[in-house]
Structure 1
């Protein structure tokens, strides 16, 4: 089995989630690669293997599995760079998550403890499913989607690329959340959310664009 290496570090939540999930699966991280303008060591003791230059080295990429722990705007271009370089980017799910045998997880997706992915749900690439989020049967989740803790998406929900669903939000059956949309914390989504829109409240309503 190839070493599992984390790209990115720092003191945010994602590097810790990644390190803990890997250790709990019995495949602890073998080190980390610094990435970004102000790299910091992770809170979990790990060997520093080098900086972002390693990610341009085909010999390095051929010998490792990578998990991207970079958050924010840098996550997508880095992930696409690594895909283009044919890096190995397996999904990582904490063993305390429940993943149906008929569900699929895309490359680079990270699933936290307590999350549930039900039958025939399809989760795209480089998604983040946080603590105790539930993605029910026949959901379709695009790439680079962030699902906050305690979110509940009922059956046949579609969440398109780069959407963000905030803490404790609820999405009813059959609703589509458009690409790049934001669902506010605690929102109850009862109708489709347009691409790029922000919705809040119960029932969720679209906020007017900022002027």
Structure 2
């Protein structure tokens, strides 16, 4: 019998039917449900819960006690800070209008997408139905209720944009339009960062 190509701590649970990529590490008391997919070279921290049908890309770092519920897709290279919580139902109720306990068939899952290289700060809440753009940065404790543009820095409750960040996560300065592009200067990288192409 060949060795498992990924590491699972003895107190963690990866259910049969879950897919976990080579080089991924699943730490203490994490729980990955059946039919969830986790890519290669990921780090799944203590107490992380990944529900069925969630899709996690490769080289993703998920810090302690994150909850990722069905309907969420996380692309490659995403950072998810400790205690981040994703929702998946815009109209949550435990019971039906007639007072019966809701079953799985009664839930209306609303999808959420976190794109390549984005970072979600500690304790942030991601309300379902949003897309968080490439290399966007969500500040700690923020509540995201609408789409976040690529490279945007958002903060607060509800989260609002407060500028743009570089791929290194430092704030860009001198953001300006030039030749149908939105550009910004990163003092840390000492280079111009292209934020987006303008129409």
Partner residue in 1 for 2:144: 189
Q: Structure 2 CA distance, aligned partners of 1:93 and 1:123?
A: 13
Counterpart of 1:160 (choices 99, 102, 115) is 115
Q: What RMSD in Å do the two structures reach over aligned CA positions?
A: 2.2
Counterpart of 2:54 (choices 121, 124, 127) is 121
SS in 2 for 1:158: strand
TM-score by length of 1: 0.59
Counterpart of 2:36 (choices 84, 99, 103) is 103
SS in 2 for 1:208: strand
Higher helix proportion, which one? 1
Q: Structure 2 CA distance, aligned partners of 1:115 and 1:4?
A: 20
Cα shift at 1:136:
1.0
5+ long unaligned stretches in structure 1? 6-21, 27-87
5+ long unaligned stretches in structure 2? 12-20, 89-110, 165-172, 175-199
Q: Structure 2 CA distance, aligned partners of 1:117 and 1:4?
A: 19
Higher Rg: 2
Q: Structure 1 CA distance, aligned partners of 2:112 and 2:52?
A: 13
TM-score by length of 2: 0.62
Partner residue in 1 for 2:66: 133
Cα shift at 1:4:
7.6
Partner residue in 1 for 2:81: 148
Q: Structure 2 CA distance, aligned partners of 1:180 and 1:89?
A: 24
